[in-house]
A and B are shown apart, each in its own frame.
Chain A
Amino acid sequence: MAKTPRIIIVGGGLAGLSAAIKVAEAGGSVDLFSVVPVKRSHSVCAQGGINSAKNLKGEGDSTWAHFDDTVYGGDFLANQVPVKQMCEMGPSIIDLLDRMGVPFNRTQEGLLDFRRFGGTLFNRTAFAGATTGQQLLYALDEQVRRFESEGKVRKFEYWEFLSSVIDSKGTCRGICAMDLRTMEVLTFPADAVLIATGGIGAIFGKSTNSVVCTGSAQSALYQQGAVYANAEMIQVHPTAIPGEDKVRLMSESARGEGGRVWVPKNPKETRAGKDVPEGERMYFLEEWYPKYGNLVPRDIATRAIHKVVHTLGLGVQGLPMVYLDLSHIDAATLDKKLGGILEIYEKFVGEDPRKVPMKIFPGMHYTMGGLWVDNDQQTNIPGLYAIGECDYSIHGANRLGANSLLSCIYAGFIAGPHSMKYAAGLGADPEDLQASFDAEKKRQLELNNHLIENQGTENPFQLWREMGETMSKNVTVTRYNDNIRETEAKLVELLERYKKVNLSDRSMWSNQSFMFTRQLYNMLQLARAVAMGARLRDESRGSHYKPDFPERDDANFLKTSMARFAGAAEGPRFDWEPVDVSLIKPRPRRYDSK
């Protein structure tokens, strides 16, 4: 009998869990690594819903229309074959989630209810209140727990991925990881490794991402030779609540359910939002984009808000804020469809959005770029897969709302079975395989020892803050090459200062600041790729906007940017790969027609 394939999955969000289910179901043995108990993964933060062209509203929706909206929304930067496959798989994924018990909102006939999201004219988004990500994650978590109790999945929670183990033939054969409590470093062999470690929000300091979304794993792999693609494509969500510790998302579903974005026409307006008469309000998205209205894609809405605040000087009470208004909708409907996000606003801001307009501003939200993968989700390193937000496929230059949950599950459903097939065809071990494991472990232990003993004056949390500030200021919504150069120089400076980093905590038991400082180095290296990609792409496409190059330039930049690590000092080197546009011919992307 052939031996059971052993698949390592790093990350227990939607992508990781869906892959785990597929592998376990196919008879594989899963080792699932996560820095947090998987039920606490960042997927829980997804609010509004999951797209699938079920066409249950009699609108004539189709998977092709979903495919077209996604490719057009991403400004034609995504390779089209996997996008089409994802949209075609959408309806069966929703059915499966439904069977797993996700409490999706229902119509009076007991069918799945759907609402509208940005960048489409169809009601295509299935939802469970306004905590859809949480509900989806829980359903998958429950299925994985079932496999765990049957011995098919082993969980390693509170373990940090440090690096992959690559054999002498250049194939990924396992990982090196660290127990976050005992701080023990161990290597784990596998026939294939699936990386499902999410976005890179922490590189921007404050974002809508969870604390664990550092991009550290992706960066470690990039430094080991994995290609990091479209690094410059970063989504800034139009509606978020700035906070002291993070930026909190205020779901697009608020607009999907009829929420309206506006500012007072008078920049000197002093009355509270609810007291400003209708005629003295400027509903700028509805005015500028009559067809899509408040549901233009996120990059468009974000730039419109920046224009209103920074160019027109119409921010609410002179501050960088605009209103997102739900107060015209009856409270019972709001509670049923948006309860979770209303609660967040109430708890963290202290005002009731059923009664007064919410004050919001754009915040860093999603990483479209990521580890380069082929159509089977395999990276350029054989045996190493990337799935979900940490991979670069599907969303191109801008992600449509409610496509992320779908893309995560889709990627897991592709990579899970494919990795099993790959494992079955894996040849004999190279003779020096053990040496590869030993060498990687030694390298990681040396990094740890160096860090714990390092003497210096730099506080890692201060370095992180400075990185976040420069990245947010120069490499988000509006990008100028001079400013990006300034950020690149700052990142080099921070890497230099990192050499003098000083840990106030040198203990070897559950030392969180130690782990954070290791992640920080990876964040800095990856930030350089994001910044340099943004500088090199001299055009405007989707979320990437340069006033000095305001048009999309297909002749030169209908290409995937491919960042390769050239060395700790040198940083990234870029080359470019053509985009597969075999199914839908690129056309101008405009949302302002009638």
Chain B
Amino acid sequence: MANKTVQFKIKRQDGPNSQPYWDEFEIPYRLGLNVISLFMEVALNPVTREGKQTTPVNYDSNCLEEVCGSCAMLINGKARMACSALVDNLEQPIQIEPFSKFPVVRDLQVDRSVLFENLKAVQAWVPIDGTYDLGSGPRVLPQVQEQAYRLSQCMSCSCCMEACPQFNESTGFVGAATIAQARLFNMHPTGKVLKEERLAALMGDGGIQECGYAQNCVEVCPKEIPLTKSISDVGGQVMKKAVLDFFRV
């Protein structure tokens, strides 16, 4: 076992308009390596498997504990977080690529700001009156809290969007994460004051109707958020609103 190594290849791109290329690496194996620590090894000695000098790999990361949502990428073809991708569980050579449905910034960094824009569009917040002291919030039963907490753990990693066949330029689909957040705030005792606005934002082109029920989102979600349940739930709300809107005119 003395010569055991880890082999991996990284799809790189110098800038948004450059051509992608692959760099292959091989480093000595150690117990407990994850994909992030492979990048750290490359930074210490930026030399490819063929002995060619290269540059440290550029990638987004922060907490390395799978709560910040930064280090999402394609690892052996699957949308997931690099920090929790343990080398021992991955087939080699490990193939690492940037997300394919977001503009590449450099190497494994992509621009996922569309999700934050979508969260604005559905007003994913509780519109409080102000931060001055107004006493305690509404009482919430533990069962309701548990449901809300599951949705509230969404870390905006965008894995669900990358994996979704409907998330592309032609549909303009908002994606599962945004819909689940709309559900979360529509569920909140005071957050639901904006329910109609949220549903209106999810109607029409790019809205909830674009979902093709492929269920890829729920498969890849690192936090096991009930995304398909959220889509069907919010879909029902949207449908009900559409019918009511029709008769209101």
* Chain A contact residues, CB within 8 Å of chain B: 21-22, 25, 36-37, 39-42, 44-45, 92, 95-96, 98-101, 103-112, 128-129, 131, 134-135, 138-139, 142-143, 145-146, 148-149, 157, 181, 210-212, 243-246, 248-249, 336, 340, 343-344, 347-348, 350, 413, 459, 461-462, 465, 504-505, 507, 509-513
Identify B190's interface contact among A41, A99, A212, A511, CB under 8 A. A99
Interface string of B42-70 (1 = CB under 8 A from A): 01111000000111101111111111111
- Asked if A105 meets B62 with Cβ closer than 8 Å, knowing A95-B135, A143-B125, the reply is no
Task: Tell me if B37 is interfacial: C-beta within 8 Å of chain A.
Answer: yes
Assess whether B124 is in contact with A44, with CB atoms less than 8 Å apart: no
Identify A101's interface contact among B15, B58, B66, B188, CB under 8 A. B188
- Asked if A101 meets B149 with Cβ closer than 8 Å, knowing A146-B123, A505-B55, the reply is no
Assess whether B140 is in contact with A110, with CB atoms less than 8 Å apart: yes
**B61 CB contacts on chain A under 8 angstroms:** 211
| Chain B, residue nearest A462 (CB) | B44
In the complex, A511 Cα to B106 Cα: how many Å?
A: 9
Task: Tell me if B5 is interfacial: C-beta within 8 Å of chain A.
Answer: no
Q: For the complex formed, measure the closest distance between the CB of B32 and the CB atoms of chain A, giving whole angstroms.
A: 5
14 extra interchain contacts, Cβ-Cβ under 8 A, other than A39-B156, A143-B125, A513-B55?
A39-B155, A40-B155, A45-B68, A112-B136, A146-B125, A210-B64, A211-B61, A244-B34, A245-B37, A248-B65, A350-B86, A509-B15, A512-B58, A512-B59
Assess whether A134 is in contact with B67, with CB atoms less than 8 Å apart: yes
Q: Which of B102-120 contact A (CB under 8 A)?
A: 105-106, 109, 113, 116, 119-120
Stretch at the interface among B126-134, B168-176, B231-239, B241-249: B126-134
Task: Tell me if B209 is interfacial: C-beta within 8 Å of chain A.
Answer: no
Task: Tell me if B153 is interfacial: C-beta within 8 Å of chain A.
Answer: yes
Q: For the complex formed, measure the closest distance between the CB of A393 and the CB atoms of chain B, giving whole angstroms.
A: 21
- Asked if A134 meets B142 with Cβ closer than 8 Å, knowing A100-B128, A101-B185, A509-B14, the reply is no
Identify A145's interface contact among B68, B124, B146, B155, CB under 8 A. B124
Assess whether A510 is in contact with B106, with CB atoms less than 8 Å apart: yes
**A148 CB contacts on chain B under 8 angstroms:** 120
B84, B86, B125, B191 — most chain A CB neighbours (10 Å): B125
Interface size on B, residues (CB 8 A): 69
In the complex, A566 Cα to B131 Cα: how many Å?
A: 42
- What are the 9 closest A-B residue pairs judged by CB atoms, nearest first? A98-B137, A110-B139, A505-B55, A142-B125, A510-B106, A101-B126, A103-B149, A99-B137, A244-B37
Assess whether B131 is in contact with A134, with CB atoms less than 8 Å apart: no
In the complex, A194 Cα to B139 Cα: how many Å?
A: 35
Identify B142's interface contact among A98, A107, A131, A462, CB under 8 A. A107
* Chain B contact residues, CB within 8 Å of chain A: 14-15, 30, 32-34, 36-37, 40, 43-46, 53-56, 58-70, 83-84, 86, 105-106, 109, 113, 116, 119-120, 123-128, 130-131, 133-137, 139-142, 145-146, 148-149, 152-153, 155-156, 185, 188, 190-191
Q: For the complex formed, measure the closest distance between the CB of A452 and the CB atoms of chain B, giving whole angstroms.
A: 13
Assess whether B43 is in contact with A25, with CB atoms less than 8 Å apart: no
- Asked if A44 meets B56 with Cβ closer than 8 Å, knowing A95-B133, A344-B65, the reply is no
Assess whether B62 is in contact with A212, with CB atoms less than 8 Å apart: yes
- Asked if A243 meets B32 with Cβ closer than 8 Å, knowing A36-B70, A40-B69, A100-B128, the reply is yes
In the complex, A45 Cα to B70 Cα: how many Å?
A: 13
B33, B54, B133, B145 — most chain A CB neighbours (10 Å): B145
**B43 CB contacts on chain A under 8 angstroms:** 461, 513
Q: For the complex formed, measure the closest distance between the CB of A592 and the CB atoms of chain B, giving whole angstroms.
A: 33
**B128 CB contacts on chain A under 8 angstroms:** 96, 99-100, 143
